Amino acid sequence: MHTAISRLESNLLRRLGPVLAWQQARAKPWSHLLRHDRGRLYLYCGSFMNRLKQGLKARLERCPRVDWPRPESSDGTTPRTTTAVKDVEKGRLGSAARRFAGTAAVATVDSEVVAALQDKHPTGASDPFGPTDGPSSGDIPSEEEIMAAFKTFKPDTSPGLSGWTHHLLATALRVPAFLKAIHTLTGLIMAGTAPGQAMLCASRLTPLRKPDGGLRPIAVRDMIYRLTTKAIVRHSNRRDFLLPYQFGVGSKGGVEPV
């Protein structure tokens, strides 16, 4: 029992030591605290943990309340007016307008629909571009360029699988540490060494019914991935990348008129 208590005390000190170091200017020095007996040490740590919980609770209460994105009903029974009103309440005016302008309905997800979507998007090679070793990716977009790219997104932009909405990302980007993390992630993406590739490159797929009964898959990428890649494209954009005449990019009917 004595050995178990000593081991518990050692683990407690090892974990709380770095956290308590900042209190040296406000309370007794950490070296002096170590000379106290076990009872006083546990009382001190218990009091500190209570203050720490209260501080964390106060911080969480100051954070904005953001609704977790929920998948919309796919049975087609919800009236468009109901969903449009919800969009307006959330500030998604563009989405509300598209509710009435569009005619396609979301297909009911079943085994047949899933098979059709998989047929349209078959699983490709796990490593289609070979090894990632290659030349340096060059300079990466600055934090100012990342913020400029974010301002091009509309407030009602749909989130991806991670649930990072435009409002939530706008709130987080005001924190310098978060913006620094996005800047670092952008550099890792340019270098081809970003972690979590399966999540970053995944999309939220919505099957829309065509007038002829077919399916039109609509893929929505994650907001963080779209932000970083948009900043990269804007940073590396050159007018001579494309030929003078382009068809299918911003032209009505795409390549069909050709």
Q: Is the pLDDT of residue 32 over 90?
A: no
Tell me the average pLDDT across 188-203.
Answer: 84
Q: If you search the block for the tokens 């068809």, which residue do you land on?
A: 247
Same-domain status, 227 and 114: yes
Same-domain status, 83 and 116: no
Tell me the average pLDDT across 188-196.
Answer: 85
Lowest-pLDDT range of 39-43, 120-124, 160-164, 188-192: 39-43
Confidence (pLDDT) at 67: 61
DSSP assignment of the chain equals -HHHHHHHHHHHHHHHHHHHGGGGGTSS-HHHHHTS-HHHHHHHHHHHHHHHHHHHHHHHHHSPP-PPP-PPP-SS-S-HHHHHHHHHHTT-HHHHHHHHH----BPP--HHHHHHHHHHS----SSTT-----S-------HHHHHHHHTTS-TTPPP-TT---HHHHHHHTTSHHHHHHHHHHHHHHHHT--S-HHHHT-EEEEEEEPTTS-EEEEEEE-HHHHHHHHHHHHHH--GGGS-S--SSSSSTTTTTT-
- pLDDT, one tens digit per residue, over 120-174 is 887 777 766 666 565 566 788 999 999 999 999 988 888 888 888 898 999 999 9
Same-domain status, 118 and 231: yes
Same-domain status, 78 and 170: no
Confidence (pLDDT) at 135: 58
Domain annotation covers residue 21? yes
Q: If you search the block for the tokens 């106290």, which residue do you land on?
A: 36
**How far does Cα 165 stand from its chain's mean position?**
8
Tell me the average pLDDT across 2-21.
Answer: 49
Same-domain status, 113 and 212: yes
Looking at the chain, the whole-number percentage of residues with pLDDT higher than 90 is 16
The domain of 87 spans 72-102
Same-domain status, 159 and 230: yes
Cα distances (Å, whole numbers) of residue 1 to 6, 9, 99, 225? 9, 12, 67, 52
**CB 231 within 8 Å of CB 149:** yes
Same-domain status, 157 and 95: no
Same-domain status, 187 and 87: no
Q: What angle do CA 66, 72, 76 make, to 5 degrees?
A: 155
Domain annotation covers residue 246? no
- Give the count of domains, the chain: 3
Same-domain status, 87 and 160: no
Work out the mean pLDDT of the chain and round it to a whole number.
Answer: 73
Domain annotation covers residue 28? yes
pTM for the model stands at 0.58
Confidence (pLDDT) at 175: 93
Same-domain status, 114 and 175: yes
- The most confident of the ranges 127-131, 223-227, 244-248 is 223-227
Same-domain status, 142 and 219: yes
Same-domain status, 45 and 30: yes
